[in-house]
Amino acid sequence: MKRIGLLCVLLLGLLRLRLAAAAVVVVSPHPEEIRIEFTHGFERWQKAQGQAVLDTIEWRDVGGSGDAQRFVESEFKSKPGGIGIDVFFGGGPEPFLGLSAKKLLRPFNPTPEFLVGIPQRAQDAEVYDSGRTWFGACLSSFGILQNRRVQGLTGLPLVRRWEDLAKPELAGWIGAGDPRNSGTMNNMFEAFLQAYGWERGWQLLTAIGGNVRQFDRLSSSTAKECALGQVAYAFCIDYYGFIQMAMAGGTNLDLVVPEDFTAVSADGIAILHGAPHGTAAERLMEFVLSEAGQKLWFLPAGHPKGPVQHSIERLPIRPAIYTNYGRDSRVHFNPFTYRQNFSYDARLARSRRDIVRSLFGATIVDLHAELRAARRAVAQAGDPAAQRQDLGSVPVTEKQAAELAQTGWQNAELRQQTKLEWQRWAQAKYRRLARR
């Protein structure tokens, strides 16, 4: 009888452990390589913590970060108590600021001891929300990925500043993405407007747009085109640049952090309101933010403390990782020690995100052929300052754009009409310059 009683106790204990395990449902724009490594890493971390039964991760892919945000917000409209998803993982700060403002995120409050070693800011960018509704899982920066081999064969220069991409001789050799589909590209173009001001920023973006070979739907495609030699310069987030450099070799590709500015921002993670597996979701958050999780971003595949199959090569949120493992990593940019006079305002970017990407799309992407013709005409005329300024003018001021974002942009009919008006305005301008 005692043996039977002991067996029952053991079985009951195992049943409770089994019930305590959960599959954390995660919606994420992250590629497969990151999903694989964080799934395996989460399992190893739990074993090291002594958990007898391990939580797993169930990934959901609904597109890029913007698509994922729209999906989550749409689901909450019909299911305000919870949508059956635990965690939103990946994407710049804008999706998390938006979800937090709509109270769709559940705060995560780790112990003060756990937060030691995670600064609240990096380069004046928030690493985590002061209300702790979201945290940066890693940091992102961007630069210009350059194909040195193509440059050597064509006589094109290595550029050190963003504004150099506006030079007429680079026409057709620049790769970029459509900000309406790529949140990464939208952040890059928004940084121009913040660093140079609204008018000068649009002048540079328009001139560079006239030099772009084509606008890709995905920013990862742009980096691949540069590695393949289809372009010599590419707007590129650090992560995609490091991947292509690892594949092509450092002698062929170079990721340049431009001297005029770069932006550092958090790539976030958060628990969603009404998360059905809240405890397991908190364990996943703790792992991602821990030293074990942060090493997965930084160390190369095969390192005893790094990823197993795929090098991820992104920027950790813990400064100690750079100090302790800098010699083991191919990542040589430290956002906590880099100094510049520019800081990216993610909240400003979020407030006018739809306006900026719609204005860029209507006046630059959709009219790309006519923009290129106008850019060639201005270059053939000697690139006079007055014509360059005319080329880069936009139909709304910064103040008007802010007012539009706050008032009428939610009206679908007005939004469509406004974009058509912008497009007609820009088309007339490009045709006038081309004739001239």
Q: Domains, the chain, ranges and CATH? A: 18-140+265-328 (3.40.190.10), 142-262+352-435 (3.40.190.10)
Which of 301, 333, 327 is CA-nearest to residue 314? Answer: 333
Question: Which pLDDT score is estimated for 105?
Answer: 97
Residue pair 4/264 in contact by the 8 Å Cβ criterion: no
| Per-residue CA distances from 84 to 81, 278, 308 (Å) | 9, 11, 30
Structure-block tokens of residue 240: 């995609």
- Largest Cα–Cα separation, the chain: 100
Residue 256's contacts (CB-CB under 8 Å, 6 or more residues apart) are: 143, 144, 145, 146, 158, 159, 160
pLDDT at 2 over 60: no
> Nearest 5 degrees, angle CA 6-CA 9-CA 12?
150
Beta bridge partners of 254: 146
pLDDT (average), residues 104-109: 96
More confident residue, 137 or 411: 137
Question: Which pLDDT score is estimated for 313?
Answer: 87
Percent of the chain whose pLDDT exceeds 90 = 68
- As a residue count, the chain comes to 436
What three-state secondary structure class fits 200? helix
C-alpha span between 221 and 318 (Å, rounded):
30
What three-state secondary structure class fits 72? helix
pLDDT at 8 over 50: no
pLDDT in tens, 372-412: 999 999 999 998 889 999 999 999 999 999 999 888 788 88
Which of 110, 51, 56 is CA-nearest to residue 86? Answer: 56
Percent of the chain whose pLDDT exceeds 70 = 95
Question: Which pLDDT score is estimated for 9?
Answer: 44
pLDDT at 15 over 70: no
pLDDT (average), residues 163-180: 95
pLDDT band at 17 (very low <50, low <70, confident <90, very high): very low
Question: Which pLDDT score is estimated for 400?
Answer: 94
Question: Which pLDDT score is estimated for 14?
Answer: 42
pLDDT (average), residues 327-335: 87
Question: Which pLDDT score is estimated for 187?
Answer: 86
C-alpha span between 317 and 83 (Å, rounded):
29
C-alpha span between 320 and 117 (Å, rounded):
7
Element containing residue 265 per DSSP (H, E): strand 265-272
pLDDT at 13 over 50: no
| Per-residue CA distances from 68 to 87, 181, 237, 335 (Å) | 11, 12, 19, 27
Per DSSP, which regions of 9-149 are E strands? 23-27, 56-60, 87-89, 105-106, 121-122, 125-126, 135-140, 142-147
- Helix ranges (DSSP H) in 197-329: 198-211, 219-228, 238-248, 278-289, 291-298, 319-325
Mean pLDDT over each residue of the chain, to the nearest integer: 90
More confident residue, 78 or 182: 78
More confident residue, 61 or 184: 61
pLDDT (average), residues 261-287: 94
Contacts made by residues 367-372, CB under 8 angstroms, sequence distance 24+: 367/423, 367/426, 367/427, 367/430, 368/209, 368/212, 368/214, 368/215, 370/427, 370/430, 370/431, 370/434, 371/206, 371/209, 371/210, 371/426, 371/430, 372/171, 372/210
Query: Rounded to the nearest 10 degrees, how much is the dihedral formed by the CA atoms of 325, 328, 329, 333?
Result: 50
| Per-residue CA distances from 356 to 153, 185, 214, 409, 411 (Å) | 36, 11, 19, 12, 17
pLDDT (average), residues 304-327: 94
pLDDT at 19 over 70: no
pLDDT at 18 over 70: no
> Nearest 5 degrees, angle CA 60-CA 217-CA 228?
105
